[in-house]
Amino acid sequence: MKLTKLLGVASASAIVATFAIAMEDTQPAVVTGTVTGKILFEGDLPKIKPLTISAQQAEGCCAAGETVDDSDLTRVIDEKTRGLANVVVTLTVEGKKLEVPEEPYVVDQTGCRFTPHISVVPAGATIAFKNSDKVSHNVRTSSIKNEGINNTIAAGKDIKLTVKSAEPIKVGCDIHPWMSSYVYVTDGTHFTTTARDGSFSLPGVPAGEYKLEIWHESLGKGKGTAVVKADGTCEAIEIMMGEKKKGRGRGR
């Protein structure tokens, strides 16, 4: 008798499980869209001078016959399109959990330059500062909300730092003073940086209206608005950034 009851319970459980799977299969998939656009420089184009790098300071940074890249990456502007590179673009989908990968984000030191120049990572992530050069580097981070480091990294080694709070963190090398970069820590659910032409893309955004948060290391902050429609389409936007006007968005 007890066995019959147990079999009955098992059969009922199987029916419930089958029904639940069937319901999942019939649930409509959540439609998402891709927020795209460009960040453009507004105002007179500045004259960007190369970095000052002495041969003595750069000794050992590159292979024989090569020189350190002296490009100033603090303001990279496409002269034809006015596209602004290295701009952080983030948005937040309410109720969506911030995804933090287990593997660390890598900021490499190669040719006595930080690569990438601008990194954007979620709060809670780990950054591995790697030294791919044949000379030692010193990594010094400047932050307010996060723990800082000021360590020498031998050739071929790395050091890791876990960041917990949203803020831009400046990274420098005291041995090679022209080296600089930023790690932008965000609590936004979607984030990216602009390409050389100022373009950006944020895929996987559900339908709704979103405020875009914009950040550039020398031009400051900006804002924009993106609307993902029910069918997943989203009109590309442009956001202007300049010396005085911090940012404004408009539909294209």
- pLDDT band at residue 24, thresholds of 50, 70 and 90? low
Q: Is the pLDDT of residue 104 over 80?
A: yes
User: What does the mean pLDDT of the chain come to?
Assistant: 90
> What value does the mean pLDDT take over residues 124-131?
98
End-to-end Cα separation, the chain, in angstroms: 73
Distance CA 33, CA 210 (A): 12
Q: Is the pLDDT of residue 3 over 70?
A: no
> What value does the mean pLDDT take over residues 75-93?
97
Tokens of 22: 């069937």
- The confidence score (pLDDT) of residue 86 equals 98
* Position 236, amino acid: A
Give residue-wise pLDDT tens across range 137-172: 999 999 999 999 999 999 999 999 999 999 999 999
- The confidence score (pLDDT) of residue 146 equals 98
Percent of the chain topping pLDDT 90: 83
Nearby residues of 9 by Cβ (< 8 Å), 6 or more positions away: none
Q: Is the pLDDT of residue 22 over 90?
A: no
- The confidence score (pLDDT) of residue 189 equals 98
> What value does the mean pLDDT take over residues 106-112?
98
- pLDDT band at residue 248, thresholds of 50, 70 and 90? low
Asked if residue 238 lies in contact with residue 37, where contact means CB atoms within 8 angstroms, the answer is: yes
Distance CA 83, CA 195 (A): 8
Q: Is the pLDDT of residue 102 over 50?
A: yes
Phi, psi values for residue 46, rounded to 5°? -75, 155
Domains of the chain: 31-97+188-252 (2.60.40.1120), 99-181 (2.60.40.420)
- pLDDT band at residue 9, thresholds of 50, 70 and 90? very low
Give residue-wise pLDDT tens across range 25-67: 556 678 999 999 999 999 999 999 999 999 999 999 999 989 9
Q: Report pTM.
A: 0.85
The helix or strand, by DSSP H or E, that contains position 72, with its residue range, turns out to be none
| 37: β partners | 200, 237
Q: Is the pLDDT of residue 236 over 60?
A: yes
- The confidence score (pLDDT) of residue 29 equals 77
- The confidence score (pLDDT) of residue 156 equals 96
Strand 190-193 and strand 158-162: pairing? unpaired
